[in-house]
Amino acid sequence: MPALANRLNDIELSASAVMTAKGRELAAKGIKVISLAIGEPDFETPRHAIDAAHQAALSGDTKYPPQDGTKALKEAVQRKFKRDNGLDYALDEVMVSNGGKQVIMNALLATCDPGDEVLIPAPFWISYADMAKLATGKPVPVTCPQNNGFKLRPEDLEAAITPKTKWLILNFPNNPTGAACSRDEMQALAEVLLRHPHVWVMTDDMYEHLVYDGFDFCTIAQVEPRLKDRVLTVNGVSKTYAMTGWRVGFCGGPKPLIKAMVNMQSQLTSGISTVGQAAAVAALDGPQDVVKERALIYKQRRDMVVEMLNQAPGIQCHKPEGAFYVFPNIAGCLGKTSKGGRKIDTDTDFALALIEEAHVALVQGSAYGMSPYVRISYATDTDSLREACTRIQEFCKGLS
């Protein structure tokens, strides 16, 4: 058999996908598995977005779209950035992609040369590091300790920047921790970046509307306008509007960068589904009440999950500001043995034993660059969350 590309040697299947698949295997055997492994809203796509997609299809909007997005959606993205973030982008500073993930990949492919460093605050979404590698870059994790709320400290950012640094990726509210930066905290990071004009800044704001307790979301180009000409502001409709399957992401950034990214996209996938773009226009321009209503439900779930996990022996769970994840520390469970006889030496051992014995799927923290933690998504119904947390409590009580 001919050889595969060397670039795949250091690329692994997403740990969340692996745990989700394992849960499905057990479910196929008739075992009731509660999956808290995947970051996908359990709500429905707003009806007005579905109706817009249906109408687009009926009206014949089914031909090849512009490769950077339809004019209607780019204008809706313009309005969104102005309304929510106080950012003004010209149409040629906006592009649409097949999900936020392709926005990020386009940007890395358009800018990274072999060995260029991509700074990634850790813990981090699994894909950032692998996408940097695929773009011939070198991912450089920058630890964000729990005693700082899992947030990036300016002094750690300063120490990590080198002449080879090409990008800093910011993701607050964060996957997997739910941590979010205040304006003062974001400004402190901006002050560091102003001293290093060779560094691009990518801010993945996919969870911007999922913040709680009156937290005021901000994005770095909004906080520090002097950085705007080297900031790529990334967002999409997946998390905010429960539209993960529609695959519509978008971004705003400096014209030369956007032009290069469109060039990349033209070779990779061309344009984005026309009916999906019509749905995204309706979501962005339509009633926003549903976003606040769902955020309130997520907050209630967060509070319940944090309280129940902190009642489990050996687990200490930080309460995050946003997103729909918690990232509890399981250090108190290590060095013990489960009722099923599995030795719990790592967070991976914990995750595997939990799914096999308690039938709850979550993801080990090592996959996100920090141990000994696990990531739990509370983007599922409240009854299932309560049952899952009860199972986790019982599992922990059974460790010896």
What class, spelled out in words, does domain 6-44+290-397 have in CATH? Answer: alpha beta
At 376-397, the pLDDT tens digits run 999 999 999 999 999 999 999 9
**What confidence score (pLDDT) does residue 98 get?**
97
Contact status, residue 347 vs residue 365, Cβ threshold 8 Å? yes
Q: Would you say the CATH fold of 47-285 matches that of 6-44+290-397?
A: no
**What confidence score (pLDDT) does residue 21 get?**
79
Q: Can you point out the beta strands (E) in the chain? A: 34-35, 94-97, 117-122, 138-143, 165-170, 200-204, 231-236, 249-252, 325-326, 336-337, 343-344, 360-361, 363-364, 374-377
Average pLDDT value for residue range 68-72: 98
**What confidence score (pLDDT) does residue 34 get?**
94
* DSSP letter string, 174-242: -TTT-----HHHHHHHHHHHHT-TT-EEEEE-TTTT-B-TT-----HHHH-GGGGGGEEEEEESTTTTT
What class, spelled out in words, does domain 47-285 have in CATH? Answer: alpha beta
At 292-321, the pLDDT tens digits run 999 999 999 999 999 999 999 999 999 999
Domain ranges of the chain: 6-44+290-397, 47-285
**What confidence score (pLDDT) does residue 274 get?**
98
Look at residue 38 and tell me whether its pLDDT is greater than 90: no
At 321-342, the pLDDT tens digits run 999 999 999 999 999 999 999 9
Close Cβ partners of 327 (under 8 Å, ≥ 6 residues apart): 123, 150, 176, 177, 178, 317, 318, 320, 365, 368, 370, 373, 374, 375, 376
pTM above 0.75, yes or no: yes
CA atoms of 228 and 305, how far apart (whole Å): 38
